[in-house]
């Protein structure tokens, strides 16, 4: 029986283990921490958003061509993956229609982790905890996997050690070092889906306010992203899906790898001309008019920033009105930093897809070495896209 050794018991590693064992392999997982699937347990606010309801290639970020990525996703449709979770792993799922996300019916991330782990164990997968892999070596017969106190021998190895986000869960980026030592040229990893730091409008402490906004980001020259979703003021900046999804542009800029992105917020997702007409037709204080559409404290900060706190709509001059409309529909967020890996939901960069055979997730540099999950240069936006990548790439590696 071929002996497959899987390094890392996260979403991708457990999926790879399941499919390798199902294909008749003898499977051993080495996990650095004392638990499998720590990130599954904390995901989706402990509800675990297992999949998106619909998916497009633009929901993902990678340096590879969209066609390469498409090939991987074509190997397992969203529907087939959902049926696997429901019918084979035994997790009843329910959609959250307003956000287009799949969650377990129980809203329990623990159920997802427990059932996936149980399915692996039932197929005979063995897991050894507190086994931190330090190095991999290719030998004449296959691979030697070296931990602090033991050398394991395997015919095939799957690397699924995740990225660097939330290092306290065990993901400190060792997989990148191990693969670099084996000759892989990594795209330098960076924090993604991480909260941003910056001053609130009129330097006011607006923490705790949350609302749905439209956020446009201009970066990479002409490329523009528009996104209407949750925005949250944190104590020293901004978070929520609208901010997290494009946060890597600010991270890459701060690392000197990209020109400065321009983040513009339309607080009420209302058109310029509609605000303009609405303010012109109003009576009473401008502030009260703005409060009809924005949370009160945010409306006050924006009106104060425009010097219009005590002014009535009737006395607004044209340029004052247009300046206010600008701040309401295209407010520039001044970004001064980011929360980095400490709070990042994923890691961008990693092993380029062109160093991997995307039909099998096998390294193009080393036969018998498979790479999947967050280690690879692919991440998705908020919405179940990252688990979909982990399930799809883990399955391909395991089956192969």
Ligand X SMILES: Cc1cc2nc3c(=O)[nH]c(=O)nc-3n(C[C@H](O)[C@H](O)[C@H](O)COP(=O)(O)OP(=O)(O)OC[C@H]3O[C@@H](n4cnc5c(N)ncnc54)[C@H](O)[C@@H]3O)c2cc1C
Nearest alpha-carbon partner for 143 in 30, 19, 292, 276:
30
CA dihedral 138, 144, 147, 152 (to 10 degrees): 170
CB 55 within 8 A of CB 73: yes
Angle 175-113-379 from CA coordinates, rounded to 5°? 45
The residue to which tokens 């096998």 are assigned: 362
7 or 268: whose CB is closer to ligand X? 7
Beta-bridge mates of residue 171: none
Instruction: Choose, by CB under 6 A, the member of 4, 19, 21, 39 that binds ligand X.
Output: 39
Find the binder of ligand X among 23, 42, 68, 258 (CB under 6 A). Answer: 42
Nearer to ligand X, 161 or 363 (CB): 161
Q: Could you give the angle at which helices 109-122 and 11-22 cross, rounded to 10 degrees?
A: 30
346 binds ligand X (CB under 6 A): yes
CB of 238 to ligand X, least distance (A): 17
Residue of minimal CB distance from ligand X?
10
Q: Does 30 help bind ligand X (rule: CB under 6 A)?
A: yes
Q: Does the footprint of ligand X cover residue 390 (CB under 6 A)?
A: yes
Q: How far apart are CA 270 and CA 213, in angstroms?
A: 9
Which one, 329 or 393, has the nearer CB to ligand X? Answer: 393
Interface residues for ligand X in 367-386 (CB under 6 A)?
373-374, 384-386
x-marked contacts with ligand X along 109-148 as a string, rule CB under 6 A: -----------------------xx---------------
CB within 8 Å of 67: residues ≥ 6 apart:
none
Nearer CB in complex with ligand X: 33/269:
33
∠ CA 273-277-278 to the nearest 5 degrees? Answer: 115
Among 171, 239, 254, 358, binds ligand X (CB under 6 A): 171
User: Crossing angle for the helix pair 385-399 and 11-22, nearest 10 degrees?
Assistant: 30
Contact between 32 and ligand X by CB under 6 A: the answer reads: yes
Q: Which residues pair with 262 in a beta bridge?
A: 218
From candidates 2, 33, 75, 216, binder to ligand X by CB under 6 A: 33
Tokens of 167: 């290092």
Among 4, 5, 6, 13, indicate the residue that binds ligand X (CB under 6 A). Answer: 13
Q: CA 232, CA 209: separation in Å to the nearest integer?
A: 6
Q: Which stretch binds ligand X (CB under 6 A): 64-72, 168-176, 219-227, 362-370?
A: 168-176
Q: Does 267 bind ligand X (CB under 6 A)?
A: no
Q: Tell me which residues touch ligand X (CB under 6 A).
A: 7-13, 30-33, 38-39, 42-44, 48-49, 132-133, 160-162, 165-166, 170-171, 174-175, 345-346, 373-374, 384-387, 390
């Amino acid at each position: 029986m071929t002996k497959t050794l899987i390094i890392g018991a996260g979403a991708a590693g457990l999926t790879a283990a399941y499919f390798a064992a199902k294909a008749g392999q003898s499977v051993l997982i080495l996990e650095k921490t004392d638990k499998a699937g720590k990130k599954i347990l904390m995901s989706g606010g402990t509800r675990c958003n297992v999949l998106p309801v619909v998916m497009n290639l633009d929901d993902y970020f990678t340096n590879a061509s969209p066609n390469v990525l498409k090939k991987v996703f074509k190997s397992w449709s969203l529907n087939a993956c959902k049926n696997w979770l429901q019918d084979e792993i035994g997790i009843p799922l329910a959609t959250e229609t307003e956000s287009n996300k799949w969650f377990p019916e129980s809203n329990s991330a623990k159920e997802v982790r427990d059932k996936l782990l149980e399915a692996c164990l039932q197929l005979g997968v063995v897991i050894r905890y507190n086994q931190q892999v330090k190095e991999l070596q290719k030998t004449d017969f296959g691979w030697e996997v070296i931990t602090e106190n033991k050398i394991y021998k395997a015919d095939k190895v799957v690397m699924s050690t995740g990225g660097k986000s939330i290092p306290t869960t065990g993901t400190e980026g060792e997989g990148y070092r191990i693969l670099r030592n084996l000759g892989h040229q990594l795209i330098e990893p960076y924090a993604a889906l991480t909260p941003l730091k910056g001053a609130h409008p009129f330097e006011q402490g607006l923490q705790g306010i949350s609302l749905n906004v439209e956020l446009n980001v201009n970066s990479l020259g002409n490329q523009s992203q528009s996104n209407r979703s949750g925005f949250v003021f944190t104590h020293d900046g901004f978070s929520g899906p609208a901010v997290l999804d494009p946060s890597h542009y600010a991270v890459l800029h701060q690392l000197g790898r990209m020109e400065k992105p321009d983040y513009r917020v339309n607080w009420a997702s209302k058109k310029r001309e509609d605000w303009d007409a609405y303010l012109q037709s109003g009576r009473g204080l401008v502030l009260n008019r703005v409060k009809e559409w924005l949370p009160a404290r945010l409306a006050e900060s924006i009106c104060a920033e425009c010097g219009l706190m005590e002014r009535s709509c009737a006395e607004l001059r044209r340029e004052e009105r247009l300046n206010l409309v600008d701040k309401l529909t295209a407010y520039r967020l001044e970004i001064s930093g980011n929360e980095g890996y400490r709070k990042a939901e994923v890691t961008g960069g990693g092993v380029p897809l062109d160093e991997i055979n995307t039909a099998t997730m096998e390294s193009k540099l080393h036969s018998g070495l498979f790479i999947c999950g967050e280690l690879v240069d692919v991440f998705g936006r908020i919405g179940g896209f990252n688990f979909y990548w982990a399930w799809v790439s883990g399955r391909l590696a395991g089956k192969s």
